């Protein structure tokens, strides 16, 4: 493709969409079955493997069919687990739906009520916040190149007070206090606060600017169910709201692995579900276009992985992952609980899962 992105495939003719249940299928003969079985056995072994620790669930979809799935002994297929930062990608989809309907323009500045008219932060656009080149300070994780991440000490963190301290009742209000430390587009910096400002923007639009927290939450829940969770059949999806009535769009949306596979499959199918365009045309390409400032590792609220498979993915703390490969027509979901200093093992594990589906010649 002219933009360097691998093409996204259409739904196979005659194959049911997984709205009600996932169609199942056998593994392709080119898949390394022995390697895949060994990887699944190890992740769910007793005692838990020291490198991965707890894995709740692994779900693998290829060509629109569920071809492998494993759940922990005390979990079920519909068990919902914490998304952590995979919620950012849900927030991105909600913004995209408003873009589809002409209710948000990503090239316009994001309206933040706490910023005065002459505040230089008023120039930050929705697009820049989605791509995390907004220039705001946020001390959560700093990209150091080569895929490594440094976490700020607790006493210097912005994410801890936002989610668990003085900001937890109004996460977007807390994020509005973040100072500008660079010009927009000057640097890439992972910013959960920006995600909560984006989630509040969606709530403002769908609630017609309501101030009552209960009305805001009800309008947002209805919107999420009507426009995203309902059409995809994500019956376990459960977003968390703060006391100001805003979706905690940086971090809090529980769902099962099979439902997160549905969410990923929406992107693998270019934002189309059944006969309906959920995301606007071009939105998935926007999502998966690597940013220069992120050293090619981040698009628009999705991570991007350089290589021949066109991988892009949702990430969450503890090793939550939804990996998407256009070339292999593959969705891999892993949910679990892995300590931050061991999460690189989850990256390696997911790469091994992908490699089991990669034909030798590719």
pLDDT in tens, 101-147: 999 999 999 999 999 999 999 999 999 999 999 999 999 855 444 44
d(CA 270, CA 355): 23
User: Is 268 a domain residue?
Assistant: yes
Residue 106 and residue 172 in one domain? yes
User: Is 294 a domain residue?
Assistant: yes
pLDDT over 60 (residue 149):
no
193 vs 275, residue with greater confidence: 193
pLDDT over 80 (residue 296):
yes
pLDDT band at 211 (very low <50, low <70, confident <90, very high): very high
Residue 191 and residue 230 in one domain? yes
Q: Return the closest-CA partner of residue 247 out of 271, 224, 263.
A: 224
Domain's final residue, options 211, 239, 267: 239
Residue 263 CB partners (closer than 8 Å, separation 6+):
89, 90, 93, 232, 234, 255, 314, 322
Q: What percent of the chain has pLDDT over 70?
A: 94
Q: Is 234 helix (H, G, I), strand (E, B) or coil?
A: coil
d(CA 289, CA 144): 20
HSE, side-chain direction, 13 A CA sphere, residue 110: 26
The number of folded domains in the chain is: 2
d(CA 84, CA 57): 15
Q: Return the closest-CA partner of residue 310 out of 298, 328, 293, 294.
A: 328
Q: What is the DSSP letter of 71?
A: E
Residue 103 and residue 229 in one domain? yes
Domain's final residue, options 197, 214, 239: 239
Q: Is 100 helix (H, G, I), strand (E, B) or coil?
A: helix
Residue 231 CB partners (closer than 8 Å, separation 6+):
19, 273, 274, 276, 278
Residue 51 and residue 92 in one domain? no
Q: Return the closest-CA partner of residue 19 out of 230, 323, 254, 225.
A: 230
Residue 107 and residue 225 in one domain? yes
Average pLDDT over residues 291-313: 96
Residue 87 CB partners (closer than 8 Å, separation 6+):
195, 239, 248, 249, 250, 251, 252, 253, 316
pLDDT at position 342 is 94
Here the CATH number for the domain that contains residue 38 is: 3.40.710.10
Residue 43 and residue 111 in one domain? no
Token pair of 322 as six digits: 């939804």
Residue 269 and residue 204 in one domain? no
pLDDT over 90 (residue 150):
no
Domain's final residue, options 239, 267, 291: 239
Residue 96 and residue 157 in one domain? yes
Q: What percent of the chain has pLDDT over 90?
A: 92
User: Is 136 a domain residue?
Assistant: yes
Average pLDDT over residues 22-41: 96
Residue 71 and residue 167 in one domain? no
User: Is 342 a domain residue?
Assistant: yes
Domain range enclosing 286: 33-83+255-356
This model's pTM is above 0.85? yes
Query: What is the DSSP secondary-structure string of 250-268?
Result: TT-EEB-HHHHHHHHHHHH
User: Is 19 a domain residue?
Assistant: no
Average pLDDT over residues 79-99: 98
Burial of 219 (0-12, 13-18, 19+ CB in 10 A): buried
User: Is 105 a domain residue?
Assistant: yes
User: Is 142 a domain residue?
Assistant: yes
Average pLDDT over residues 41-69: 97
Residue 191 CB partners (closer than 8 Å, separation 6+):
129, 132, 134, 136, 138, 140, 178
pLDDT at position 277 is 98
Residue 79 and residue 148 in one domain? no
Residue 265 and residue 346 in one domain? yes
Q: Return the closest-CA partner of residue 246 out of 177, 172, 193.
A: 172
Residue 337 and residue 264 in one domain? yes
d(CA 154, CA 169): 19
166 contacts 157 by C-beta, under 8 angstroms = no
User: Is 24 a domain residue?
Assistant: no
């Amino acid at each position: 493709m002219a933009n360097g992105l691998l093409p996204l495939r259409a739904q196979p003719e005659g194959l049911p969409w997984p709205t009600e249940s996932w169609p199942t299928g056998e593994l392709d003969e080119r898949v390394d079955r022995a390697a895949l079985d060994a990887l699944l056995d190890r992740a769910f072994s007793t005692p838990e493997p020291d490198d991965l620790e707890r894995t709740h669930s692994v779900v693998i979809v290829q060509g629109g069919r569920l071809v492998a799935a494993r759940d922990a002994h005390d979990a079920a297929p519909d068990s919902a687990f914490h998304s952590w930062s995979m919620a950012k990608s849900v927030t991105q989809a909600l913004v995209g739906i408003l873009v589809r309907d002409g209710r948000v323009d990503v090239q316009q500045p994001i309206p933040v009520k706490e910023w005065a008219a002459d505040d230089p932060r008023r120039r930050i656009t929705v697009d820049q916040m989605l791509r995390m080149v907004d220039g705001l300070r946020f001390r959560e994780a700093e990209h150091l190149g080569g895929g490594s991440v440094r976490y700020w000490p607790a006493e210097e963190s912005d994410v801890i007070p936002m989610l668990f301290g003085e900001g937890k009742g109004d996460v977007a209000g807390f994020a509005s206090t973040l100072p500008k430390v660079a010009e927009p587009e000057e640097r890439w910096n992972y910013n959960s606060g920006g995600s909560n400002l984006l989630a509040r923007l969606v709530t403002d639009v769908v609630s017609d600017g309501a101030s009552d927290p209960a009305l805001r939450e009800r309008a947002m829940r209805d919107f999420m169910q009507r426009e995203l969770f309902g059409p995809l059949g994500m019956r376990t999806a459960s977003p968390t709201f703060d006391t100001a009535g805003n979706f905690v769009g940086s971090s809090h949306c529980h769902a099962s692995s099979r439902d997160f596979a549905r969410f990923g499959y929406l992107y693998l199918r270019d934002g189309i579900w059944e006969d309906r365009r959920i995301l606007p045309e071009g939105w998935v390409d926007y999502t998966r276009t690597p940013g220069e400032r992120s050293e090619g590792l981040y698009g628009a609220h999705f991570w991007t992985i350089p290589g021949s498979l066109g991988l892009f993915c949702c990430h969450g703390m503890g090793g939550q992952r939804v990996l998407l490969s256009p070339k292999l027509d593959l969705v891999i979901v892993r949910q679990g609980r892995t300590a931050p200093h061991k999460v690189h093992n989850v990256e390696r594990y997911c790469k091994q899962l992908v490699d089991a589906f990669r034909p030798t010649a590719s």
